[in-house]
Structure 1
Amino acid sequence: MRRTIEEHLHKGELQEHLTMFLEEKDQFPFANMASCHYQAFGGQDESSIQTLSAGIELLILSFDIFDDLEDEDNFDAPWMKLSPPIALNAATSIYTIGIHTICAAGSNVHLLSAASRYALQSMQGQHLDLKNEMATEDECLEMMKLKAGSLFALSCILGTLLANGKAYPCIEAYAYQLGIAAQIENDYKGLFQEHNNDIKQQKRSLAYLYLSREFTTHSSEILSMIDHGRFFQQEFKDIIEYKEKLHVAGVTQYMNVMKNLAIHHAKKEMEKLTLPKDQLMTIQSVMFDKF
């Protein structure tokens, strides 16, 4: 990816910023998703899948930066230490290079249209998240499907398109569900992050919607903490006490059930793939690795 950036930008401060941002990436899950689908569906050109994978990870990085800038959190990230206009321009540059690199991966004309479609869906999901008007569980799940699920789908579908030019509805379906599961897990972890603005902004996540039903006094206590923009360090003795409070309120169990339900739906969709057992197992190991 460093070479890709160097090929598209003249030496200078912007290139230095982008190179610095790349150093934050030590895992490449979206590239792995694309690669395992490419190989499972008959792809054999190592150069093409490497190019596609680089483009996808650059695109994902740009979305991470946009997300942090829009949510105004994750202050330790290098892009958050730059002035917002400079960081925004850098993110736009990464996005553009990512799209260009995806197009350069192969001659399939559907690569660009698929990448653009899923990217726009993710932007639509981010818009809904920023509007913060979700009132029901279904609305929240739809937002997560668009915001996170679309990026999972982008990686899997592009890898398959590059391999054989075909798109399979079941791949899109299980990618959406695993994106939802990943977002649920991320939202739960966000309950413990001091600089996560979800609490200050009373983000209508699944956890918040569950707490707002106030099934117990424990739910009411946590909801009051969030509604007053306070972090758990200000309310509880330590993180152990806070986790116990979430547990007795039912939040932990609810989030786990919702995550596992999405994973279950993904597995049912994956069963529709007609692939040799070893190739199917490879996809399963990559897609379910973080769960």
Structure 2
Amino acid sequence: MNDCIPLIGQQMRKLVQRWFTAEPLVRYAELFIEDKLQESTKFGQLTIIHYRMFGGTEEVVYQAAAAVELFILASDILDDLQDQDAPAKVWMQVPQPAAIHVASALLTLSQQAMLECAMDSETRIALAEMMNGQILRAANGQMIDIMNEITDEQSYFDMVKQKSAALLLFACMTGVMLAGQSWHSTVAEYATEVGIAAQIQNDLRDLLRWDDKSDFLKRKRTLLTLYLIEGEAEEDRWINDYFQGKLSVDDVALNRERFREACERTGAILYGSVMSRMHYNRFEELLGSIQEASPWKSTFLQILNQETA
């Protein structure tokens, strides 16, 4: 699938050059796209795999993959602007109103590009409804995440299904439906499972960080921080006190090793690893149940394994 990555980037640039006419909008959009292409285009690749998996043969899939990646890019920009935890990203180094405007324009461009991909009105309507439905689900999940309103394990999984999993579902189902198929419930289920696995892996990564992305220092409620603050050990009471605001960042700033030790001793890290693996295993089980997936399975897993296994 590596040979499709340049084609996705090429289509992203072409769409910007065709639809954006204001020079600053073009300039910033191209700058942001170049930054994006230095990282992963796994969402677009998943669109292509599912299109081929279900019998699609046309080159239009590369524009669909570009549409998906434009939406992911816009989401990343808005997410970073909301969290203010990625100062090195290029969109964090331009005037904020410009970054917000570019993200908004990319969202609309993504939808326009997707509508152009469908060969007939029935597919076009189905794609648009699916895309908008998943985008709205992701918007709901993102709002819950922004407000930090996770209260227990169930509310965490509900948020992840709406946020992270909805975006993976969107990428996969775009390929399925563009190939002329209807909504595929098994694809939807395994996209959700792998989305949950990936989010828990992200939470594991951010649990032990001690910088702007630290979930602990930001008092962010995740599956893992909830596990920690629900602990009853007296020696870990300071963690709960910090989340309740009884301690300040300055009060815990020197507790990095103490926090790491607590994460290991309480089993929080092991718990997260087991939960992530459980959802990933369910994804693999569901993937194996789809006959069309067999020739593409190794490529599919190769794209995902780096972040979710």
Give 1:248's aligned residue: 265
**1:50-104 superposed Cα distances (whole Å, 9 cap, x missing partner):** 1001000000011111111122221111112233322111110111111111111
Alignment partner of 2:118: what SS?
A: coil
Number of residue-to-residue matches in the alignment: 288
**1:214-266 superposed Cα distances (whole Å, 9 cap, x missing partner):** 2434543444455545389932476xx75444211322111111111211221
Give 2:289's aligned residue: 272
Q: Is the 8 A contact 2:87 2:93 kept in 1?
A: yes
CA RMSD of the aligned region, Å? 2.3
Give 1:120's aligned residue: 136
Alignment partner of 2:60: what SS?
A: helix
Alignment partner of 2:117: what SS?
A: coil
Q: Which amino acid aligns with 1:43?
A: G
Q: Is the 8 A contact 1:21 1:79 kept in 2?
A: yes
Q: Summarize the Cα distance change of 1:205–1:23 in structure 2 as closer, same or farther, 3 Å threshold.
A: same
Q: Summarize the Cα distance change of 1:229–1:175 in structure 2 as closer, same or farther, 3 Å threshold.
A: farther
**Match of residue 98, structure 2, among 71, 74, 86:** 86
Q: Is the 8 A contact 1:200 1:229 kept in 2?
A: no
Give 2:66's aligned residue: 54
**Match of residue 85, structure 2, among 73, 81, 91:** 73
Q: Is residue 178 of structure 1 aligned with residue 194 of structure 2? A: yes
Supply the distance in 2 between the matched residues of 1:232 and 1:267 (Cα, whole angstroms): 44
Deviation, 1:154, is 0.3
Q: Is the 8 A contact 1:30 1:155 kept in 2?
A: yes
**1:2-51 superposed Cα distances (whole Å, 9 cap, x missing partner):** 22211111151121111111122222110111111111111111x21110
Give 2:254's aligned residue: 235
Q: Is residue 37 of structure 1 aligned with residue 53 of structure 2? A: no
Q: Summarize the Cα distance change of 1:193–1:65 in structure 2 as closer, same or farther, 3 Å threshold.
A: farther
Q: Summarize the Cα distance change of 1:197–1:103 in structure 2 as closer, same or farther, 3 Å threshold.
A: farther
Gaps of 5+ in 2: 1-11
Deviates further, 109-118 or 209-218: 209-218
Q: Which amino acid aligns with 2:233?
A: T
Q: Is the 8 A contact 2:130 2:170 kept in 1?
A: yes
Deviation, 1:200, is 4.5
Supply the distance in 2 between the matched residues of 1:180 and 1:222 (Cα, whole angstroms): 25
**1:114-140 superposed Cα distances (whole Å, 9 cap, x missing partner):** 111111110010011122222110110
Q: Summarize the Cα distance change of 1:64–1:157 in structure 2 as closer, same or farther, 3 Å threshold.
A: same
**Match of residue 153, structure 1, among 169, 176, 184:** 169
Q: Is the 8 A contact 2:176 2:183 kept in 1?
A: yes
Give 2:27's aligned residue: 16
Q: Which amino acid aligns with 1:235?
A: L
Q: Is residue 167 of structure 1 aligned with residue 183 of structure 2? A: yes
The percent identity for this pair of structures is 25
Deviation, 1:166, is 2.2
Q: Is residue 143 of structure 1 aligned with residue 166 of structure 2? A: no
Q: Summarize the Cα distance change of 1:13–1:229 in structure 2 as closer, same or farther, 3 Å threshold.
A: farther
Q: Is residue 129 of structure 1 aligned with residue 148 of structure 2? A: no
TM-score scaled to structure 2, two decimals? Answer: 0.85
Alignment partner of 2:88: what SS?
A: coil
Q: Summarize the Cα distance change of 1:276–1:174 in structure 2 as closer, same or farther, 3 Å threshold.
A: closer
Supply the distance in 2 between the matched residues of 1:190 and 1:131 (Cα, whole angstroms): 18
Deviates further, 273-282 or 248-257: 273-282
Give 2:4's aligned residue: none
Deviates further, 76-85 or 21-30: 76-85
Gaps of 5+ in 1: none
Q: Is the 8 A contact 2:288 2:294 kept in 1?
A: no
Give 2:233's aligned residue: 216
Deviates further, 133-142 or 197-206: 197-206
Alignment partner of 1:164: what SS?
A: coil
TM-score scaled to structure 1, two decimals? Answer: 0.90
Alignment partner of 1:44: what SS?
A: coil
Q: Which amino acid aligns with 1:9?
A: F
